Amino acid sequence: MGRLFGTDGVRGVANKELTPMLAFEIGRAAAFVLAEKQERPVFVIGKDTRVSGDMLENALTAGILSVGGNVIKLGVIPTPAVAYLVRHYEADAGVVISASHNSFEYNGIKIFNGDGFKLDDSIEERIEDIVLAHDFAHPEYVGEKLGRCLEGESNALHTYTEFLLGTMDRRLDGLSVVLDTANGASYQTAKMVYTALGADVTMLADEPNGININEHCGSTHPEALQAKVVEIGADIGLAFDGDADRLIVVDDRGRLVDGDRIICICARMLQEEDALFDERVTATVMSNIGLHKYLRERGITVDVTKVGDRYVLESMLKSGSVLGGEQSGHMIFLNYTTTGDGVLSSLQFMKAVLASGKKVSELRDEIEIFPQAMVNVRVMAEGKKKAFDDSEIAARSKAIEEELKGTGRVLIRPSGTEPLIRVMLEGPDEEIITKYAEELAAMIGERYGE
């Protein structure tokens, strides 16, 4: 796997790339590094519904206990719940076992610090160095020096849902809401929250069996949600991904409302409440031209970062921005939490809808989104970097932008979690930009494809 930590932790096919031994070594190294500041570091561990979660949870736990760390197991719980509960339990680190929106055979390990933020790069690098050196030398941990599994509160999920409910200042009585939980980590949380707020709730993809996570459902496959909203005449549909840190909305006409539109709608609410610090939000290079146009017309500045919620958060912490996110549905409401939280984001969106007095479809149509064409190219590992150094690809990309005459753009970037290069074009004519995207993807595939 090379260097272990990507933009979103360690990820790979469970029991092939991400093995129990590797999970053990990561747990052991993390506990050893954190023990330099706290003699017996406490870790909280949560997981999504993948079949490999139990295996990796127990291997990781064994590694932590073997060098004197202690563990609180949270069970199946959303990623953002771990970020919240690590603070609630006053633990030293929180670990999430999940591969987010990837299919069930993948899994991952992501670590938060005691404040609920992702680990500093320097700490990740130390953990990597220890794991990859394969000759970890440490004091002998036997007898009373070994760690143990601690008892947390009887219901961590209840503690987290109470926190979510505390972020909502109005009821949802009379609203028909369809929830698609991707057979993932929010399959209990989302229903509990929306039922408690009085909504008329219809559930989709809320029967996880270990292998159906993200399977034709959730934020990356919202087709069934769109159909159900139209079928029953619901007011809104809300889709989360496997670890529940993303949100995609479906309006009352069955149309998608992606992260860019969600940011716009929530930014307007915060601005009207005088709660949008410095009149700014944070977005990534993937955000649509339409987002920039809508927010600029309202005097709101957009800080642009690389793709990845860690980069969004870093920028927000520097600028003081309280709202940031990605087109894919990762939203960070920094006044409430330290990471993307799909259910919390959905509650903020519901507040914006209620405050507006409009239907979701009406709010959606106020924001003009320009067509985007995206083509993913599967490449060899070394191809990710070489493609960006390829002068012919760079020259053709520049020529295409010139042909678009300032009305569009070209973006080529590597995936942070898969062996893919993503080619994205944006412009007013979908047919033209699709043709250009396919042309560039073919160039990359011929040179660097698997």
Q: What gap in Å lies between CA 194 and CA 248, rounded to an integer?
A: 16
Is beta strand 176-180 parallel, antiparallel or unpaired with respect to 236-240? parallel
- Look up 122 and say whether it is catalytic: no
Contact 436, 428 (CB under 8 A): no
Q: What gap in Å lies between CA 191 and CA 172, rounded to an integer?
A: 13
Query: Exactly one of 52, 66, 98, 100 is catalytic; which is it?
Result: 100
Q: What gap in Å lies between CA 448 and CA 176, rounded to an integer?
A: 48
What is the DSSP track for 278-334? Answer: GGEEEEETTS-HHHHHHHHHTT-EEEEE-SSHHHHHHHHHHH--SEEE-TTSBEEET
Determine how many CB atoms are found less than 10 A away from the CB of residue 171: 12
φ, ψ at 190 (rounded to 5°): -60, -45
Say how far residue 359 (Cα) sits from the centre of its chain: 27
DSSP 406: T
Amino acid found at 422: R
Closest CA to 191 of 211, 153, 225, 164: 164
Q: What gap in Å lies between CA 413 and CA 36, rounded to an integer?
A: 38
What is the DSSP track for 141-169? Answer: --GGGS--BPP--S-HHHHHHHHHHTT--
3-state SS assignment for residue 234: coil
- What are the Cα distances from residue 400, in Å, to 11, 394, 422, 432? 35, 10, 16, 10
Q: What gap in Å lies between CA 176 and CA 438, rounded to an integer?
A: 40
Closest CA to 103 of 61, 28, 40, 48: 48
Region class of 60: left (phi > 0), else alpha (psi between -120 and 50), else beta: alpha
Closest CA to 45 of 8, 70, 19, 20: 70
Contact 241, 214 (CB under 8 A): yes
Contact 39, 128 (CB under 8 A): no
Residues forming the active site: 100
